[in-house]
Amino acid sequence: MKFVVIIPDGAADAPQASLGGRTPFQAARTPALDALAARGRVGLTNHVPDSLPPGSEVACMSLLGYDPLAFFTGRAPLEAAAQGITLGPRDWAVRCNLVTVREGVMEDFTAGHVTTAEATDLLAAAQAGLARDFPGLAATWRFVPGVSYRNLLLYRGAEGGDSPAPLAGDLQATPPHDLMDKPVAGAIPRGTGSRMLAEVMAASAAWLDGHPVNAARVAAGKRPATHVWLWGAGRAPAFEPFMTKYGPRAAMITGVDLLRGLAALAGWKRLDVPGATGYLDTDYAAKGRYAIDELSRSDLVCVHVEAPDEASHQGDAAAKVKALEEIDAKIVAPIAAHLAGLGDHRILVCPDHPTFLSTKTHSRGPVPFLMSGTGIAAGGRTAYDEPTAAAAGDAILPGWKLMGEFLGTRSA
């Protein structure tokens, strides 16, 4: 059996006045999805437990078949995995943004999209500052450059001997993108280890102030990176490998680090597709071609497309509709045609979470799923959208059980 999973990120939405009272799924012309719906099963699921943040890191973990309530530990460990960093059982990863805070206000959570080369220099200065001001921490804590403003601070427990980990699961910190144009004074971390993180964040102002990179940015009229902002801390999730848990050998196609990290932790192959940008300009057709090609090697291929989520963040209903039409024509249609010639196969389509055009942000709540193929009985629906899925009266809950149901393994 060959399996294909397609994740239109953030695609689920509410009816839009600008779309004549239809949702983007309803408004988009999606003949390939509708044909699959007519032959298969349409219903609702929910990938975001009430107690967890409604983001791709939680929802996509659920979509891949892992219970976020059991396995979600934070965002940073997923990004470490995406970078090929393996965390030991005593290690922690903390997300480290370079940000611009001026007069106590979060002016920019990206520090003006600081370049990777600039970030690398600034984090070297931060590491030197850490060694100078916090000599007790410098042996076990390391700033690790990532891409642009998205970096990591790693705690390597084994290097610190037998001392207890300085952070614990009760640690909470605010993502800097939730603080835009707001005062940061009340948003310092809370819980075990929070004081140390807050002290490092405060001290970073002096480490970065006057750094040649910042001086050059200011001279060029760009925003300086004034602080490191620490959040998203966690240990590596203890995933059972996907092949052991579910059977198929799987591969991921995505333009997004978080999804690459999840796939790495699950033991999936990751494919780099030229032109897969993670934005609205992504090369849809290339993703479809690579997926079809990979089906000759892997049992399951997942295509994740970030574009619908990006369109929602911009509040652009027309762009969201366009993204869904591109997914239908350039990914779903060619893959469905290819699968039809392969013998036993199944295809699953499901967004990770709604991203509402009205709020321009991720939300919790139900999302429509569609599964079609060998052994899946037709449910009598002829479209794939939120109202149709709700009317079908078919629900798979909690969302992480969708994968087992789709694969026919019903893993507990």
- Among 2-10, 16-24, 263-271, 335-343, which window interacts with Zn ion (CB under 5 A)? 2-10
Stretch that binds Zn ion, among 48-56, 64-72, 195-203, 383-391 (CB under 5 A): 48-56
**Cβ 119 to Zn ion, closest distance in Å?**
24
Nearer to Zn ion, 80 or 305 (CB): 305
Three-class SS string for the chain? CEEEEEEECCEECCCEHHHCCECHHHHCCCHHHHHHHHHCEEEEECCCCCCCCCCHHHHHHHHCCCCHHHHCCCCHHHHHHHCCCCCCCCCEEEEEEEEEEECCEEEECCCCCCCHHHHHHHHHHHHHHHHHHCCCCCCCEEEEEEECCEEEEEECHHHHCCCCCCCCCCCECCCHHHCCCCECHHHCCECCCHHHHHHHHHHHHHHHCCCHHHHHHHHCCCCCCCEEEEEEEECCCCCCCHHHHHCCCEEEECCCHHHHHHHHHCCCEEECCCCCCCCCCCCHHHHHHHHHHHCCCCCEEEEEECHHHHHHHCCCHHHHHHHHHHHHHHHHHHHHHHHHCCCCEEEEECCCCEEECCCCEECCCCEEEEEEECCCCCCCCCCCCHHHHHHCCCEECCCCHHHHHHHCCCCC
Query: Mask 315-354, x = binds Zn ion (CB under 5 A)?
Result: -------------------------------------x--
Contact region with Zn ion (CB under 5 A), list: 52-60, 75-83, 190-198, 320-328: 52-60
User: CA 55, CA 48: separation in Å to the nearest integer?
Assistant: 8
Taking the complex as a whole, the smallest distance from the CB of residue 138 to Zn ion amounts, in Å, to: 36
Strand partners of residue 101: 106
Contacts of 238 (CB under 8 A, 6+ apart): 71
CA 67/CA 38 separation, integer angstroms: 30
Size of the site for Zn ion (CB under 5 A): 4
Which C-beta is closer to Zn ion: that of 352 or that of 405? 352
254 part of the interface to Zn ion, by CB under 5 A: no
Cα angle value 180/47/256 (rounded, 5°): 55
Q: How far is the CB of 55 from Zn ion (least distance, A)?
A: 6
Q: Which stretch binds Zn ion (CB under 5 A): 9-17, 36-44, 85-93, 342-350?
A: 9-17
- Segment interacting with Zn ion, rule: CB under 5 A, options 55-63, 146-154, 247-255, 400-408: 55-63
- 9 near Zn ion (CB under 5 A): yes
Give the interface segment with Zn ion, choosing from 51-59, 144-152, 282-290, 368-376 (CB under 5 A). 51-59
As measured in angstroms, the least distance from the Cβ of 56 to Zn ion is: 3
User: What is the smallest separation between the CB atom of 341 and Zn ion, expressed in angstroms?
Assistant: 32
Q: Rank residues 4 and 59 by Cβ distance to Zn ion and give the closer one.
A: 59
Please identify which residue in 30, 56, 298, 388 interacts with Zn ion, judged by CB under 5 A.
56
Q: Pick the closest to residue 236 from 362, 404, 66 (CA basis).
A: 66
Q: What binding mask, one character per residue, do residues 269-308 give for Zn ion by CB under 5 A, x or -?
A: ----------------------------------------
Q: Which is nearer to Zn ion, 54 or 157 (CB)?
A: 54
Of residues 52 and 196, the one with the C-beta less far from Zn ion: 52
Segment near Zn ion (CB under 5 A), from 3-11, 134-142, 275-283, 392-400? 3-11
**Would you say 189 or 237 has its CB closer to Zn ion?**
237
Question: Using the rule CB under 5 A, is 79 a contact of Zn ion?
Answer: no
Closest CA to 93 of 236, 262, 272, 290: 236
Pick between residue 257 and residue 352 the one whose CB is nearest to Zn ion. Answer: 352
CB of 313 to Zn ion, least distance (A): 10
Rounded-to-integer distance, Cα 408 and Cα 39, Å:
17
Which part of the chain contacts Zn ion (CB under 5 A), choosing from 10-18, 121-129, 170-178, 210-218? 10-18
Q: Answer whether 226's CB lies under 8 Å from 184's CB.
A: no
Which residue has tokens 């999302």? 367
Contacts with Zn ion by CB under 5 A lie at: 9-10, 56, 352
